[in-house]
């Protein structure tokens, strides 16, 4: 990494740190006005921004228009949370005379913003997980300045959105350092940012390899900081024979569309399809293959992402325990969809067969028993989502399978497909390792701002201290 890159990162972090105390003490009105102003400005400039985003990512105007709408929606949603007092909530236990345990001093539990947050943009959501995305919105709502690490897949868009945001900060009389932007595709740049002593927390969405490297840096600092990382997921979907007997054709089409949505470049893309050894399952696999095989995809976001997809497909093509379920058509702008069947026990035994293939590919696992299905879930170990089709009846088997799914997933679906993540209060977008580094937190939904607050108890505090 060059000296100028280091200097720019240091400058952005120093400017963020200089705003931290004032922003932590800012009022709900100031924070909410900024968040709504950012949403308004994003929408006002969306035509030019979407054109730029499509040039860099090839995701298409329709998809990108929807993403801008989601980004503006969550900015305004966090403004609502701020006005509702969520970052300023407190629990007040009045003093009780006498010795403990009945007696106690007065204790007031409040939330303290962590300080400057390093936010790593994602490749696959150039608006919603980028400069003004959910991590930035939730951190600002919590009272923390943000230094955004732009993604190399859409650098011009990142600069343009940051310029829009800087205009809003100026209009509101707020310092430019409240939202910084740094660039640099090298891992060294990311490491320098995470290791910077004035960074107080990190939000990351990206690959397992890159995420674990930065997570180790965050934990090996002289003063470790929280690392909220989303590292990838293979999102198993289990379908019982009963529902496949009733609705196999529609379910196959729905699943094929989900696997190829966005060229499969979603962290919630269903990558493992689990079915029982049954005639209805065989028919469903045939229908899924028929629905998936002719679909076309668009160009992948980056050349390295395409290489990763090709390498993952080649790994399964050469695995003795895996077999392709159809002959793929020739690649167009994007890669042809792929579907493999893997022997259940081999999938359980071989971690390489469980590696995520980021792109339009999935594997089918046929299990012989509920116990073997549970073993498949256990082997997966941690995932953002698990989908369970056909669980209308309360039986010992459905309870056992649900327990297994709950133990590994951050979100369990009983209908539909996992692609598409609603921004709500009840949402959980995180999961046990290796899906994320902090399974008790979420990067989507309004609970996301809790990541950037820590609890603080004030004992026998004077009135002026409680008014802060």
Q: Which of 144, 267, 341, 356 is catalytic?
A: 267
CB atoms within 10 A of CB 63: 16
The Cα 461–Cα 444 span in angstroms is 35
83 is a catalytic site residue: no
Are 256 and 327 a contacting pair, CB within 8 Å? no
263 is a catalytic site residue: no
Burial of 34 (0-12, 13-18, 19+ CB in 10 A): buried
Rg (CA), the chain: 24
3-state secondary structure of 430: coil
The Cα 131–Cα 148 span in angstroms is 6
- Whether the link from the prior residue into 434 is cis, omega within 30° of 0, is yes
The Cα 116–Cα 448 span in angstroms is 16
Spell out the residues 6+ positions from residue 315 whose beta carbon is closer than 8 angstroms to its own.
352, 355
Are 256 and 294 a contacting pair, CB within 8 Å? no
| CA angle (334, 208, 299) in 5-degree steps | 10
Q: Which of 230, 263, 341, 356 is catalytic?
A: 230
Spell out the residues 6+ positions from residue 81 whose beta carbon is closer than 8 angstroms to its own.
87, 141, 446, 449
- In the numeric block, the tokens 């799914």 are attached to 405
* Residues acting as catalytic residues: 230, 267
């Amino acid at each position: 990494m060059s000296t100028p890159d280091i200097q720019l990162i240091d400058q952005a972090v120093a400017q963020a740190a200089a705003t931290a105390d004032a922003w932590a003490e800012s009022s709900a009105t100031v924070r909410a006005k900024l968040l709504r102003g950012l949403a308004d400005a994003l929408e006002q400039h969306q035509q030019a921004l979407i054109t730029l985003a499509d040039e860099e990512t090839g995701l298409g105007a329709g998809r990108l228009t929807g993403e801008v709408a989601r980004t503006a929606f969550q900015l305004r949603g966090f403004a609502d949370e701020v006005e509702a007092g969520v970052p300023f909530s407190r629990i007040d236990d009045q003093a009780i005379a006498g010795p403990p345990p009945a007696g106690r001093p007065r204790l007031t539990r409040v939330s303290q913003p962590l300080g400057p947050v390093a936010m790593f943009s994602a490749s696959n959501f150039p608006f919603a997980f980028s400069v003004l995305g959910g991590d930035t919105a939730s951190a600002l709502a919590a009272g923390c300045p943000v230094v955004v690490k732009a993604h190399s897949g859409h650098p011009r868009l990142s600069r343009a959105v940051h310029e829009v945001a800087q205009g809003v900060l100026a209009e509101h009389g707020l310092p430019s350092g409240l939202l910084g932007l740094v660039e640099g595709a090298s891992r060294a740049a990311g490491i320098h940012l995470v290791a910077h002593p004035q960074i107080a927390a990190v939000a990351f969405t990206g690959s397992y390899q890159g995420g674990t490297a930065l997570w180790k840096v965050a934990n090996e600092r002289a003063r470790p900081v929280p690392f909220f990382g989303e590292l990838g997921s293979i999102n198993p979907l289990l379908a019982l024979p009963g529902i496949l007997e009733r609705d196999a054709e529609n379910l196959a089409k729905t699943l094929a569309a989900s696997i190829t949505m966005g060229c499969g470049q979603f962290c919630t893309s269903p990558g493992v399809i689990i079915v029982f050894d049954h005639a209805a399952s065989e028919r469903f696999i045939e229908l899924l293959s028929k629905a998936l095989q002719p679909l076309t995809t668009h160009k992948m976001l980056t050349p390295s992402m395409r290489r990763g997809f090709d390498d993952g497909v080649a790994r399964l093509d050469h695995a003795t325990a895996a077999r392709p379920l159809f002959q793929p058509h020739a690649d167009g702008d994007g890669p042809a969809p792929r579907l493999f069947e893997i022997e259940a026990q081999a999938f359980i035994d071989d971690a390489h067969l469980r590696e995520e293939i980021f792109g339009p590919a999935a594997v089918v696992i046929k299990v012989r028993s509920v116990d073997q299905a549970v073993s498949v879930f256990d082997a997966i170990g941690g995932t953002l989502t698990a989908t369970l089709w056909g669980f209308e009846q309360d039986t010992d088997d459905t309870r056992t399978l649900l327990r297994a799914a709950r133990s590994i997933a951050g979100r369990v679906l009983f209908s539909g497909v996992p692609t598409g993540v609603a921004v709500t209060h009840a949402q959980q977008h995180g999961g046990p390792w290796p899906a994320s580094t902090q399974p008790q937190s979420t990067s989507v939904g309004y609970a996301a701002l809790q990541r950037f607050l820590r609890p603080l108890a004030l004992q026998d505090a004077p009135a002026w201290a409680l008014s802060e």
